[in-house]
Amino acid sequence: GLARVHNGRRYRLGVMGGTFDPIHHGHLVAASEVAARFDLDEVVFVPTGVPWQKKGRKVSQAEDRYLMTVIATASNPSFSVSRVDIDRPGDTYTVDTLKDLRRERGNDVDLFFITGADALSQILTWRGADELFDLAHFIGVSRPGVPLGAKDISHLPAEKVTLLEVPAMAISSTDCRQRVGENMPIWYLVPDGIVQYINKRGLYRDIRNIAEDH
């Protein structure tokens, strides 16, 4: 693999998992802020395969979500995109994501899993929860409507979880999909290239597939 010791210390890799249907500026600001505050060398965005939490709604094709994530992150030299979850058959579990990245990047890399405050509180309900804290440090970022600390995380190991206030972006993918379905603009909520890609592919026009979920 690649050299993993930078500036005399271990390589620090952020991992931002998500459905990214579509990716929006809330995701990008969160990743950028965590990268700066935790001195990360890179943040890898990992679009999910079949999202088991979201089976009530038809999620866009993995390839569309992957390409949007590539388009949105392409200009940032510290951002990258991984196909591990979309190339793995079956449902996506964070424990598998982290194990695959660990395998790809080797043991000299420290992993920092970045997740919204809404998702963090459910962490112990995730499959393989007992293994998760050996694989990565977890960073729960603030999200408008989900106050940091509102959810009880006292049952999680304190040295393995950090809560971080990031600049508030009241944007969700659900809201973006809804706007497209209602012919409302999504300019400035998502990168320009994402607006254009959504139009080009005709995503989110079918109102039946917009439904709220988290």
Closer CB to Mg ion, residue 19 or residue 42? Answer: 19
Binds ligand ATP by CB under 6 A, chosen from 62, 72, 156, 171: 171
- Using the rule CB under 6 A, is 191 a contact of ligand ATP? no
Categorise residue 2: left if φ over 0, alpha if ψ from -120 to 50, beta otherwise.
beta
Asked if 35 and 13 count as a contact pair (C-beta separation under 8 A), the reply is no
- Using the rule CB under 5 A, is 214 a contact of Mg ion? yes
- Using the rule CB under 6 A, is 58 a contact of ligand ATP? no
DSSP codes joined into one string, 44-62: EEEE-SB-GGGTTS-PPPH
Name the residue with the smallest CB distance to Mg ion: 214
- Residue 188 to residues 104, 160, 195, 204, Cα–Cα distance (Å): 35, 34, 9, 17
Residues 110-129 that bind ligand ATP (CB under 6 A): 115-116, 118-119
Q: Which does residue 174 touch among Mg ion, ligand ATP, none (CB within 5 to 8 A, set by kind)?
A: ligand ATP
Rounded to the nearest whole angstrom, what is the least distance from the CB of residue 176 to Mg ion in the complex? 11
Binds ligand ATP by CB under 6 A, chosen from 99, 137, 169, 193: 169
Residue with tokens 């694989």: 135
C-alpha angle 117-87-26 in degrees, rounded to nearest 5: 30
Burial of 44-83, coded b for 16+ CB within 10 Å and e otherwise, reads: bbbbbbebeeeeebebbebebbbbbbbbbbeeeeebbbbe
Q: How far apart are CA 21 and CA 69, in angstroms?
A: 9
- Using the rule CB under 6 A, is 21 a contact of ligand ATP? yes
Closer CB to ligand ATP, residue 4 or residue 162? Answer: 162
Size of the site for ligand ATP (CB under 6 A): 20
Asked if 104 and 111 count as a contact pair (C-beta separation under 8 A), the reply is no
Rounded to the nearest whole angstrom, what is the least distance from the CB of residue 146 to ligand ATP in the complex? 8
Contacts with ligand ATP by CB under 6 A lie at 18-21, 26-27, 30, 115-116, 118-119, 141, 143, 169, 171-174, 213-214
Contacts with Mg ion by CB under 5 A lie at 214
